[in-house]
Structure 1
Amino acid sequence: MASQDASHISVLLREVMEVLSPKDGGIYVDGTFGAGGYSRAILEAADCQVFGIDRDPLAISKGQKMADEFPGRLIMIEGCYADMEELLAGQGVAAVDGIALDIGVSSMQIDEAERGFSFMREGPLDMRMSGKGRTAAEIVNEESEAELARIIFVYGEERRSRAIARAVAERRELAPFKSTVELAEVVASVVRPTGKGIHPATRTFQALRIVVNDELGQLVKGLAASERLLTPGGRLAVVSFHSLEDRRVKNFLSARSEGRARPSRHVPVSDEGPAPTFKLIKRGTIKARPDELAVNPRSRSARLRGAIRTNASAWTEAA
C-alpha cells in the first residue's frame, strides 16, 4: 500500500476493511473521501469500483490524482454524502455493495490554517467544508448571546456555554471576530484546562463546525440513504469521533437491526414494526488497537460501527 502522510492516516483502516470485506466486481462508496485512505485500501483489496464523494473541492482535486492510478475504478464526485443517492444516480448507479463514512472534519482540513478549523493555528474563522454558506465568524458575530450559548451547549456539550457566550458577546462589541486564535483566546479566558491535554476551546470549535456544516443533519440523511442504496449482504462502516455522532449511528443501527423503533430505553419496544434491514457485525463499537494508538493520536476518540444489509425493504420515514 502506498505510504500516507502521518497526519493524514485514515483511522481504523484495518477495522474498516474488515467490516467492508471488499470483493471483486463490487461497487463501493467512500462517502467522506478526504485524503482517500479508505478508497485506496478498497481498490487494492479487490478488483472493484469506488465512488469517492466529498463536499470539499480540494479533496476532489487531490482525489483526481489517485483516480489516475486506478483508471475507470475510482470515480470522484463533489457533493455531500447525504445526497449520495442522487449523486450516484447521476453516474447510473442505483445499488452498491459497501459504504464507508468517516464523520466529521478531516485531518487534512485541520492542518490547513486558512480553512479555520483549528484553534491551534492562526487563520480566518471559516470552518466551511464546501466553501459555501455561512462562516463560523458570521455565526459568532451575528447570533444572539442566548443562541450562541445554546449552540455551544447542544453541539459542543460544553457546560460553560453561557459564560463563553457572554464573553464572546462582550468581546465582539469591541471588534468583530475574524480569526481562530481570537476566538480560542476568549474561550480559554473562561474555561479552565481539564488536565487531560484537551484545549479549552475544543468543544466550542466542535459546536461551531457542526452547525456551519450541518453535520448531524447530514449524518441522519446519509444513514437513511445508505439503507436504501446497499444491496442485500452489502456492508456499512461508520467511524465517528464524539458522542453526538455515535449516538445517532447507534440509534439508527439498533432500531434497524431490531426491526422496531425504540424512542427511549425506558419505553418498551413494540413487537410490531418493519423487518430488520441490518444485522450488526458487533454489538457496541470497535476501537483502535494499541499499535494504531501509538502512531495516530486522532484514533483515540474514533469509534467504528458496522452492519450488514438484510434483504428487507428500507424503512419509510414514518417507520
Structure 2
Amino acid sequence: MKWCEVSIQTTHEATELVAEIFRDLGASGVVIEDPELINDYITSGKWDYTDIPIATETQVVTVKAYLPVNGELEGRLMTFRHEVELLEKRGVRTEPGTVSTMELADEDWSDTWKKYFHTEKPGERIVIKPTWEEYSPKDNEIVVELDPGAAFGTGTHATTSMCICELEKLVKPGMKVFDVGTGSGILSIIAAKLGAREIQAVDYDASVLKIVQENLEQNNVEKIISVAQSDLMQNIHGKADLVIANIVADIIIRLFDQLDEHLADGGTLLTSGIIEDRIDDVLNAAAAHGYSVVKRMENKGWACITFIRC
C-alpha cells in the first residue's frame, strides 16, 4: 500500500487539536515536529552528541500524518482542511496553516516513525517508555509503557507532563480517582501505579476506549481502573478524592456544574489543557462555584491548575 504524508504548519495551541483531526480521519500515525521540544532535548543533556542546531524560530510546529492512498484520500484531505478552518472559527489560532502532501513509496514506514519516540521522564519518578525500547528503572522510578497511537496523550505535551508532575505529589495510597477525558489513559495508569485503589476513567469519544483498555492491560492495572464512555461525569458513580481533567477550557468550565456531586469533602481537582488566553475564564468559573486555586503552573502557553473547595 502507498501512503500520503500530509503535513501542516501550525501553532503550539493548535497542535494537539490538529493531531486529533488527523486521528479522526483514520491516520495510521501522527508525528509532531516541535522546535521548542527539540531545543529542550539539545539543552537537557539527554543526548551525548547531536549536530542538530538550536532552532531560533520556535513558533511554528509541523504536524504530519499518514493516510492510505485510495479512493477516500481526496475526501479526507477536503475534510481535514475544513476541520482546520472550523478551529479558526472557534478562536484557535492555526496560522500559518500551510498544508502540503507527498506520496511515499510502498514501504513499511510504521517502523521508521519510531525514531521520533523515545523513553521520557516527565516527572521525578514517572518514566514513559514505548514498548520497543528497553529501560531499567532506577531508585524509586515507576515505568509506564505507552506507544503513540490513536488516542491523545503520551506524556510529552506540556499539558500532560505538568499533570504527571502534580500527580506524583497528589496521589496517595488508597485514593479514589476520577479521570475525565482520559484520552490514552496515561494519567489513570500513573495514578494506579502511584497507589490509587480505585479509578474511573471516562471519555466522550467511545472510539478511544478500546485503546485505553489495551494500555491498561499493557501496564497490568486493568483491575484498578474501569473505563466508560461519558459526557463529562454523567457515567461516573460516587465521589473521588481526586478528579483529573486534562481537557480544554470550555469543557473544564462545564465540569464545575457537576463537580460537587462527585468530589469528596476535602478533595482536589487537577485541571490542564488550558491555553493561557483562557486561564481567567477557568478561574472565574471556579470562583463562581466556590473553588479556589491551590497551585498554578504554566508551560509553553498552557496552564495546569489545581483547585479545592473554598
Which one has more relative contact order, counting CA pairs under 8 Å at least 6 apart?
Answer: 1
Bigger fraction of residues in strand: 2
TM-score range, shorter chain: 0.3 to 0.5
TM-score normalized by structure 2? 0.46
Higher helix share: 1
Q: Structure 1-normalised TM-score?
A: 0.45
